[in-house]
Structure 1
Amino acid sequence: MAMKNWTAGTQCVAKKDHCKPKDGEISYHKGDILTLVGPGMRKGEYTARHNTTGEEGQVSGSNLREREALRIDPKLSLMPWFHGKIAGQQAVDKLKPTEDGLFLVRESVRHPGDFVLCVCFSQKVFHYRVIYQDNKLTIDNMQFFDNLIDMIEFYSRNRGAIATLLLKPKKKEGLKSAETKLLKSGWLLDLSKLTLGEIIGEGEFGAVFAGEYAGQRVAVKIIKCDVTAQAFLEETSVMTNLHHKNLVPLLGVILHNGLHIVTELMTKGNLVNFLRSRGRFAVSVIQLLRFALDVCEGMEHLESKKLLHRDLAGRNILVSEDGVAKISDFGLARVGSMAVDNSKLPVKWTAPEALKNKKFSTQSDVWSYGVLLWEIFSYGRQPYPKMTVNEVKECVEKGYRMDPPDECPADVYSIMTSCWQTEPKKRPSFHKLRERLEKELKLHT
């Protein structure tokens, strides 16, 4: 068998149990995730860290397979059993040959907006109307659910008011189960190992909690709306492809109450609050340059993968326990430039051509990076102070640019203004920006 040549940082899935470790080895179970730290002591071995126990030691390469990145696949569905708007008779035809527990969910033709759960039991198909009331779904007015994913999960484990447990989803033609794919590729985590703590953030898509997963401190973004959860599946696919010290790492997902996205916990919060609460007496210019460089290196990595962030701003940069800045929220990260809803665009951070013609590119990310630099060197002030969003739009279009923050080094301000060239082609790449910042850091150290 050819030698596997994995580099440090590669995540692997254990192919079998290894419960009686020899000296220097670590124990693991089939399906556990291990991160390679470097080559092992002997040929064919690696030094690895167990993602959940944190234990480090030797592992045989032949017991591991690489954790696959997920491809963005529009056929991947969190609800492969959802068939959209079809009539009762069509549902009955789809559930042939009948077997107990075979089921699908459809949107009601007679009662638009309501759903129907269709399930086979003793050669018959039962249709349960799912009523939508007070933002909850219910079949029997006893059990209430936030979304369909939740409801199906519940009735797969409890019979409740229906004829039989839901045993086998009837997939809509052409759809693949995201759950199966996540499980196979090693990204589906085990709900029983998760403990949720306090809320640390509220997004428009749901709350973010601090928590613990198998002993590791984590942040958990919970997306309850199933349509949004489906959209976030794409964000998750993007994150499985990205490994870089300046990007917040994805640990995996849990399908329960919608979608839980589990990432490493960045204990020092977002960069804006970090700088505001400490101020210029506690944080040196060298530290500011390091933050700027951290973000730049993360963005250079996205640039190399031809990915855009589209919402680069201080609030989306998180600071780790050891003071490293990492980019989070690839919520809008997409390959290439797709149309985005303009009302949601963060105007003060968005390049003029992106606001005007929705032209997103690495160059528009560079513009946002210039604004982020201004936030860093002003210790977390709101950009374009005292100006309304509409004033900013108008003035920037006419050529207005922000003044340097107090005591900002001249070279850093000139980097900012280079990011704010009107002509996108004239803005530097993240690669070039990194070189300039490294030079600047040498001058200050």
Structure 2
Amino acid sequence: MKHSTDTPPGPRLDARCLLDALAGLECAGALYLLDEDGSVSYWSSAAERLTGHEAGFATGKPIARLLPGYSRPAADEARGMGEDEIRVERADGSTLLARRRFQPLRDQDGTPLGRLEVLAAIETVGTPLAEADVEILHGLITREPAMKQVFRIVRNVAETEATVLVRGESGAGKELIARAVHAESHRAKGPFLAVNCAALSPSLLESELFGHVRGAFTGAMRDHAGLFQRADSGTLFLDEVAELPLELQAKLLRVLQERSFVPVGGDRTLSVDVRIVAATHRSLREAVREGRFREDLMYRLRVVPIFLPPLRERRRDVGLLLWHFIGRHNARGLRRIVRIDPDAMRRLLDHAWPGNVRELQNVVEYAFAVGRGDVLALDDLPPEFREEPAAPRAETEHVPDEAERIRAALRRSGGRIDQAARLLNISRATLWRKRKKWGV
């Protein structure tokens, strides 16, 4: 018998529209719908935020492949609605401990059709880059106020043509700051070139910066365009500018003042439009006092100084950067770390990080190379992390003379003022005053 069709059909309800409405009402977690095979049929915006996977990417994929660590609810068809806890890995490599509520879906005959699930975060192992207090700038990430201030300066100065001097320790990210200034500026489509002023001899550095003409010296078989010429309309990054030889400083000053230079062996002046971002781990003022750096060039270079704090002064960033680098390696699939052993984390957080962010990156690479399993253990860290901290020296071992104590601290810290001041238990300013007093 045919059903009557006298009653006109009502308005069609779109299933996705209903799910969107339901997900909006379900404000306590991330809602998604799975078919009987465990593949994603619907992925809410809250699920995007929680996991880092966009709906277009997630839809149609098996949930177990999308979220490593996911497990199917035990005997859910028999229990009906239920709740449990699972640990899953998000898109950024961090691991999430979540409370899961689930409801099996069946047709009128009781045949299973899939599940409706909602995840709510309980605890995060590793720090997701989407957290509200995390700021990202062209490869740099932080949650520290001091670094966020650096980011603000970078964005503001990038709108101008001012020359920038970045001051920071080795491995702290000076070149990344320079690249961020370039990327945020109107020169972003132009070239970004870099040179380490301490890595080349004076003659090679002059040729590399300013170029040379054919026959300028033995072996100059053809004209060579230097970095200034090749960086025209872009940015040139001068790393370790404090090591620039005095004979080249006058030539660099002329480029900054007149926007022109003469190649080595040439007789024709070339004009360029290049922005200079310089960097140093040393004080240019101290180099000026020692007669190793021109004072007029110093003022030309440090129109806008940016001081990059070392990692030991960014303690809240250690865990953030650690999981950031772990996430990169997790994505390669050779090993997936979802948890860090408490002893290992304690050593990582207590470490002074003399090599700064670069050292942290290398430590993660070491851990992935030598370790196995999903837990980063103490044995996965380089040998220096497994050594017990040295006991403090007895008072009788201290050098009695203040000047000698300062010299000893500077030797132990490798000349790093901040670390030497901590060893002496005095402020940086006090150390500078005492060095001046004793001529150290």
TM-score by length of 2: 0.24
Greater strand proportion: 1
Greater helix proportion: 2
Q: Which has the larger radius of gyration?
A: 2
